[in-house]
Structure 1
Amino acid sequence: MLLDQQQAQADHALLQLGRRLQADGYRFTCVTPATQGRVNARLEAKQAHDLRGVFGWSRPFSPALISADELQQLTCAGVLREEGDLLRSTVRWSSLDDLLLVHSAWPTDSPDAVFFGPDSYRFAQVIRDHLQHRPHPVQHAVDIGCGSGIGALLVARAAPHAQVSAVDINPMALRYTAINAVLAAIANVSVEPSDLLAGITGTFDLIVANPPYMLDAGRRTYRHGGGPLGAELSLRIVEQACERLAVGGTLLLYSGVAVVEGRDTLLETVHQRLHGSDFSWAYREVDPDVFGEQLLEPGYEQVERIAAVALTLTRNG
């Protein structure tokens, strides 16, 4: 009970910090880890000089840089780390249009790190494109592996009468999603622990997912996709979605694929599994070349590029 109370106080402090940043007009566009590292390696970037440096670029800062209220909120939330005479926030705040989202600070080394970045912006566009052209209203939706909750928030805002579940195996992701939902004044999102769809019941007329798709030596939850080239989680989501979509329901899967000698093995596997089924589907490359630095990692010796892809899968009537 005491731990629950302490967590509630910490989450409330983070929420109040988010509201303060909103009121101050704070905005930050989150970049790739490689870009973040290159920008922060500049001599003038060794220490934060404004709020974007503190909460966007994850730079160490002098306690005198921020207000006493913000410092108190960071302390109460338990997200401050001392570095000599300086401090560093262990959370970041990033913008997507008018939304402000809390997620893990850079570098995201922790096993329970909560991801937000360029993939999140592309994932958001896939969702928006679909919702603009969807002929049927959304009643029951789920965001699988919700992370910071951007998928659930966008669906819930577009369908305010829908029941939207945000599920993840990472408790920190569920905490941050709940904070982000309250900060956005979105009331129709519920957060629930679940390994993909195993922990929740019912069928859905919209499933959205942006799973990890890398090979990660540390097997960090937000990054490691599993299988020989990182596609295992994406394929599991397709399989479970096929079982849980209502008639007319759609899966929106934004993921990545390691392309070897021109072959997209995720597309090939999806084609094999869906051939002759009662599903209609479309598959496209959203970006042909992402996270090129990953090709230097073990396991990618034969990979020529990593592509960001989107699968739209609908159960026919």
Structure 2
Amino acid sequence: MNPDEPANQPEPVNPEQIMSSDQATALRDLLVYLRGVNYQHVAITPLSHSRIYKRDAQAWAKTVRDIVGWGRPFHADVAGEPLFGLMEAGDVLQPVEMGWRSKVRVASLNGRLFLHSAYPTLEASSVFFGPDTYRFVRAVQQYAETRQPTVRRAVDIGTGSGVGAIALAGLFPDAEVFGVDINPHALALARVNAAANGCERVQMLHSDLLRDVAGEFDLIIANPPYLVDAAQRSYRHGGGALGAELSLSMVDAALTRLAPGGALVLYTGVAMVDGADPFLADVQARLQNRSGFSWHYEEIDPDIFGEELDLPPYDIADRIAAVVLNLKREA
């Protein structure tokens, strides 16, 4: 399929159907409140999170970080006001026996706070935030600092919590910035995160890749899902035999939508098989007969999500590595 052709899909759900304006305002104020009390929490992998839980599986929250960082059950008096009231107004309180649990978590990155889905992220519409997010933003920042590009229009494909688009807005304050996603739950949280972090001008829009947004871009960034997920959760399932299908689709989209002098910064994970990199081979095949582009490819972490190697389809892989592809169209 041509990445620019409109997809034959059902009418997308509007994020306003997921979250009312009053809920969005309450959640924005919740993030502002947490920033005011110097809240910080680093989001870790689900496996590491589960290990923390197992240290005391029956523990109730004692701190705000326990409530919206670790996602432990809590009593209302531990949350206190205004936090409990803001969570109630934002409709993120889930009743449990003898107390409550938060439907969202809050992570910190570069002095900003971001709403994302509660642990465990089992629903297809879950909005993920974890170590990949930190590596992705670092790769975008490194590109901006070393290349110092001129950026008038930029887009974060598969924006999720909005973190990439919000990072772009901070790096390029004069640019028109878009965050696009097919998940309305992600867009609803991304809009709250943008508002709470002073980035209201970032446009968070529904789009399947770049099919539903027009024009060329000086900078395209993406952190696509790259695993094969049996439940095909949108934040995790990359498609194809080893999870690289969506990453390759984003490369294809960038090849047709980069402005002269524009660049793609793609962070993804790759299953290495018998010492070879199949994603790199596919990228090389796409670019070998295409003039007008230069590119750089780097493996930045040799071993991530090692637990996947116990299960098919990754039981044929040596390892899963984190990589960054920088693709530039000549001016």
TM-score, normalised relative to structure 2: 0.92
Residue 327 of structure 2, aligned match among 307, 310, 313? 313
The within-5 A match list for 1:288-307 is 288-307=302-321
User: Equivalents in 1 of 2:148, 2:129: separation in Å?
Assistant: 30
User: Equivalents in 2 of 1:166, 1:226: separation in Å?
Assistant: 22
- Give 1:169's aligned residue: 182
Note if contact 1:295-1:303 (Cα within 8 Å) is conserved in structure 2. Answer: yes
> Secondary structure of 2:200's partner?
coil
User: Equivalents in 2 of 1:242, 1:12: separation in Å?
Assistant: 38
User: Equivalents in 2 of 1:53, 1:265: separation in Å?
Assistant: 41
User: Equivalents in 1 of 2:127, 2:17: separation in Å?
Assistant: 20
Q: Tell me whether 1:216 sits opposite 2:229 in the alignment.
A: yes
Offset, 1:59: 0.8
Residue 202 of structure 1, aligned match among 207, 210, 215? 215
Quote the sequence identity (%): 43
- Give 1:283's aligned residue: 297
User: Equivalents in 2 of 1:181, 1:260: separation in Å?
Assistant: 39
The within-5 A match list for 1:245-260 is 245-260=258-273
Q: Tell me whether 1:122 sits opposite 2:112 in the alignment.
A: no
- Give 1:79's aligned residue: 92
Where in structure 1 are there 5+ consecutive unaligned residues?
Answer: none
One-letter identity of the residue aligned with 1:156: A
- Give 1:95's aligned residue: 108
> Secondary structure of 1:285's partner?
strand
- Give 2:23's aligned residue: 10
Where in structure 2 are there 5+ consecutive unaligned residues?
Answer: 1-13
Offset, 1:10: 1.1
Moved more, 140-149 or 75-84: 75-84
> Secondary structure of 1:283's partner?
strand
> Secondary structure of 1:263's partner?
coil
Note if contact 2:19-2:188 (Cα within 8 Å) is conserved in structure 1. Answer: no
Offset, 1:297: 2.8
Offset, 1:145: 0.1
User: Equivalents in 2 of 1:28, 1:131: separation in Å?
Assistant: 26
TM-score, normalised relative to structure 1: 0.96
Q: Greater relative contact order: 1 or 2 (C-alpha under 8 angstroms, separation 6 or more)?
A: 2
The within-5 A match list for 1:131-280 is 131-277=144-290, 278-280=292-294
Q: Indicate how the Cα distance of structure 1 residues 6 and 192 shifts in structure 2: closer, same or farther if over 3 A, else same.
A: closer
> Secondary structure of 1:143's partner?
strand
Moved more, 198-207 or 293-302: 293-302
User: Which 4+ stretches in 1 moved above 4 angstroms?
Assistant: 3-6
User: Equivalents in 2 of 1:304, 1:48: separation in Å?
Assistant: 40
Offset, 1:16: 1.1
User: Equivalents in 2 of 1:20, 1:315: separation in Å?
Assistant: 43
